[in-house]
Structure 1
Amino acid sequence: MNSGDFVSATRWTEAQLQRLAWATLLLSFTICVGLAILVPWQILTYLRTSYVGVQTRVVALSGILRLEHVDREPLAITPGNPYSRLTESDLLITDAQSQGLVIFSEPLSSAPQDLAAVQIYPNTQVEVRRARYPRFGISPEPARLTLYVRSGRARVIRLEGRRPLELAIQTPHGQAEVISGTLAIEVQNDRTDFTVRSGEARVGTSDQIRTLKSDQRARIELNGRVESPLEAGRNLLPNLFQTPLPERNVDEPIPPNQWAIFTFVKQPGESPGTVAQTSEAGRRALAISRSGFDHAQTGVFLILNQDVRDFRSLQLHITLKILFQDVAVCGVVGTECPLMIRLEYKDINGVDRQWLQGFYALGEVTPQTPESCLPQICPPPYNVHLRVPLGEWYTFDSGNLMETLQAVGAPPATLTRLRIYASGHSYSVMISELELIGEE
């Protein structure tokens, strides 16, 4: 190679090096700009989309609640022993004698708000498919809760949390999104019934979605056909948790469909107790309390004057919590339960009758503390007082009262008055989700 060729080759190499330097500089600049955009974007994405599991509380209200998970041994949840480690893919199973309650709450908070409550009825299977809450407070994302009801009956209550909630219920036949209020679900082999007891829900399949309001029902069949809106029975009671309640004598005539507070004290001068609207962890409630030494009653009542002779079904639903009672069970004659429901009516012969149901949390049934109101004090039917967990929300459904009262020879013709009250010496209770569903 002569010297000219060497100089030419050297110059070519210098040009290549210059191009390489520019390419490296441009690439470095591009990478720098990309990192300046990508790293903050990744951080913001993480802050936005990072989730943690929600806080849970599983309570067996009666019988044994079975919990299954693919990677763990089955677990038995018994009354009085709440379970707080529910995770995604957990399956809750009840048998004919058991029912449970699941409360989903905000995590990472010293005073968490409840997001939703799920009542699981007997012979039901519910799987938790998603239960997530944004890890960081600056995230605009909603909390997400998805439940799969394989079979049986459940009731889902959407509560008033601090963050938006996507609450979805899936079944083998379709799905529902609970927008607000309460949704009842019943899954059978060939269909699912979604019933909005209050609020609003969107119900359907991937092909068709229907919006339901209070007291409307949708049925999704095995072939995916959606029937809605269907009659779901109507709530005969006005809202108990909206307006301030006046105080009245229980025998004082007041307009129908207007709740009022009533009190009774055996010894003049003692405290009559208090009734106050309140909220607890996102749940509207009515708090009834009293501290005293002798017998008293504190509660609310409603004049109904509702003809039910053409009704085929009448069912009372209530959610309650007993916080304190000082009389064991329901007292010596069975009339001092910390919470009592008294539905008064006239039968088809015009005779005044009543249906009475008591609830208690403390004490054991003995000859001195009977399991129901004594026959010399109360007329039939003699409903056994129900023991509920102390300090836990408990959901009660009466069953079809038209059939119950017909069976004891006292079918109702006109509902006259409903009382819900605490009875005893000292007590503290709360009630929520009060409904009297009638179907004609």
Structure 2
Amino acid sequence: MRERNPALAAWLVLLSAFAVFLACAIASPLLIGRYVQYATRSNRAEVQTLSGTTQLLQRNQQKWLAISDAEDASQGDVIQTDGTSRALLVVYEGSTDYVLATVHVFSDTRLSLARATNPQFARSSQPNRITLVLDHGRIRLNPGPPLDRDLQLRVIVPSGEVAVQDGSVALEVSADASEVTVRGGRALVTSNSHVEQMVLETGERAVLTSQGDIRGPLPAGRNLLTNGDFGGGLMLGWQVYNDQGSDSGTVDGQATLLDNEVPPVVEFDRGGGQKDHCETGLLQPIKKDVTDYVSLRVRMDVRLLYQSLSGGGFQSSEFPLMYRLVYRDARGNLQFYTWGFYYQNTDNYPVQKGEQIERNVWFAYESPDLMAILGDIKPAYLEYIQVYASGHDYQSQVRDVQVVAE
């Protein structure tokens, strides 16, 4: 049997202890440094109701909390608005009153505050972090004034994410796509499905499809209508109607898609009206909160072929082609904006809310900025648009109808 060497065993123990000591001496500062670098604390956040009643589902709770004024929010909370409510989420740095970012939450929106943290130690080089999850609806993000510490502001959407680097950025999630619009500053759009990124600058927009494709950069202006170019026929997005009014007329007009034209054209035609009133047109529900937009214009190409009534009729309400945009103002009152087109006024009727154009010639129309000219009754929520011919006998055409919000 081999005899043990006590001296060797002692040296082994001593060397092992020294190795452990060296490991601790080296690792401890590294671990402490890592803790100082990455330790975080929660940022204070608050949900403020701007109109209606906001719903807040607090983390680990089962019941929604109705907010009519303001309520503290924390990581994991969910904010939800309905068709009549809007809210503001404010995230502060730590427990201070310094605003890191504001998030306007518009109607019919569901938004989660996934993360809101800042470094626990001033020596850390890590940024303030805010992460939101937008399930559906529309928000606008505005980072606060820059600090010595960077801000990482991310929004996760169904098929990717958006990093807001500065400025003012709007995001909208619908069933088939997410849209990102940069009013000022810069944003980085990243797809989950593809190794694809896109940087957006001021005045640019991108569409992130449900399949993960990024389309853009596009102009910031967005057409709120479905199938405004009639490429999908008259049944997609539009309703065809006739309104005989109250003078006992029986002859309907016709709304016909001329799909042999490029681009497609819709023609309104009525003959044999016996000098009674009829309105033939298209209607599309919009149902859109537009309080976040600073500009709203109506565009379309129109052509007048025939009108039996002079001007817009005696009451300036029966033009051979016209449109009516029906909306609610900020107080919820129902309003409308209408405009008509005519080529002759032999009876010299007074004309209001209409303009004379050449017969048989396509006219590219663009309205003034409705947000600018309508003042206190400017649109807050769009109900629907009608594009129609009105009068006794008429024949007119329209193509490429747009309601462009920016």
- Fold shared by both chains (TM-score > 0.5): yes
Q: Does structure 2 retain, via aligned residues, the 8 Å contact 1:77–1:83?
A: no
> Which one-letter code corresponds to 1:195 in the other structure?
T
Structure 1 residue ranges without an equivalent (≥5): 1-8, 235-314, 320-380, 388-400, 421-436
Provide the residue aligned with 1:165 in structure 2: 151
Query: Against the structure 1 CA distance between its residues 316 and 72, is the aligned structure 2 distance closer, same or farther, given a 3 Å change threshold?
Result: closer
Is contact 2:54-2:85 (8 Å) kept? yes
- Paired with 1:161 and 1:55, the residues of 2 have a C-alpha distance of 18
What is the CA–CA distance in structure 1 between the aligned matches of 2:293 and 2:178, rounded to whole Å?
A: 23
Q: CA deviation at 1:24?
A: 0.9
Q: Distance in 1 between matches of 2:130 and 2:369?
A: 42
1:205 to 183, 188, 191: 191
1:19-418 equivalence runs, <5 A = 19-69=8-58, 71-79=60-68, 81-84=69-72, 86-109=73-96, 112-162=97-147, 163-206=149-192, 207-233=195-221, 404=337, 406=339, 409=353, 413=368
In 2, the alpha carbon distance for the partners of 1:385 and 1:151 equals 23
How much does 1:205 deviate? 0.6
- DSSP-derived class of the 1:72 partner: coil
Q: How has the CA–CA distance of structure 1 residues 413 and 65 changed in structure 2, closer, same or farther, with 3 Å as cutoff?
A: closer
Percent same amino acid among aligned pairs? 26
Q: Distance in 1 between matches of 2:180 and 2:209?
A: 11
SS, match of residue 154 in structure 2: strand
Deviations 1:72-128 (A, max 9, x none): 14343433x3111x222211110001110001110143xx32111110000000011
Shift of 1:40: 1.8
Structure 1 residue 413 displacement after superposition: 4.7
Contact 2:293 2:405 in 1 (8 A): no
Q: In the alignment, what sits opposite 1:371?
A: none
1: CA distance, partners of 2:48 / 2:291:
22
For 1:203 and 1:54, how far apart are their aligned partners in 2? Answer: 25
Q: CA deviation at 1:39?
A: 1.7
| C-alpha contact (below 8 Å) 1:128/1:148 kept by paired residues | yes
Instruction: Give the aligned residue type for 2:220.
Output: A
Distance in 1 between residues matched to 2:373 and 2:28, nearest whole Å: 64
Q: Cα gap change, 1:412/1:192 in structure 2, threshold over 3 Å: closer, same or farther?
A: closer
CA distance in 1, matches of 2:159, 2:173: 8
Residues 156 and 406 (structure 1 numbering): CA distance in 2 closer, same or farther, change over 3 Å? farther
How far the C-alpha of 1:406 sits from its partner, in A, is: 4.9
Residues 57, 102 of structure 1: 8 Å contact kept:
yes
- What whole-Å deviation, never above 9, does each CA across 1:355-411 have from its counterpart, x for those lacking one? xxxxxxxxxxxxxxxxxxxxxxxxxx9x97769xxxxxxxxxxxxx9x746599489
Residues 1:405 and 1:148: Cα distance change in structure 2 (over 3 Å): farther
- Between the aligned partners of 1:405 and 1:180, the Cα distance in structure 2 is 39
- Does the C-alpha gap of structure 1 residues 20 and 38 become closer, same or farther in structure 2, counting only changes over 3 Å? same
Contact 1:56 1:102 in 2 (8 A): yes
Question: In the aligned structure 2, how far is the partner of 1:172 from the partner of 1:385?
Answer: 31
Contact 1:405 1:412 in 2 (8 A): no
C-alpha offsets along residues 299-343 of structure 1, whole Å, 9 cap, x if unaligned? xxxxxxxxxxxxxxxx78589xxxxxxxxxxxxxxxxxxxxxxxx
Contact in 2 for aligned 1:113/1:161 (Cα 8 Å): no
Partner SS state of residue 70, structure 2:
coil
Q: Distance in 2 between matches of 1:128 and 1:438?
A: 31
Q: Distance in 1 between matches of 2:330 and 2:218?
A: 35
Tell me the distance in 1 between the aligned counterparts of 2:95 and 2:29: 25
Give the direction of change, closer, same or farther, for the CA distance of 1:75–1:226 in structure 2 (3 Å limit): same
RMSD: 3.9
Deviation at 1:220, TM superposition (A): 1.0
Give the 3 Å change call, closer, same or farther, for CA 191–59 of structure 1 in structure 2.
same
CA distance in 1, matches of 2:155, 2:22: 45
Q: Under a length normalisation based on structure 1, what TM-score does the superposition of the two structures give?
A: 0.52
Matched residue SS, 2:162: strand
Shift in alpha-carbon separation, 1:132–1:93, aligned structure 2, 3 A = same
Deviation of residue 418 (structure 1)? 8.7
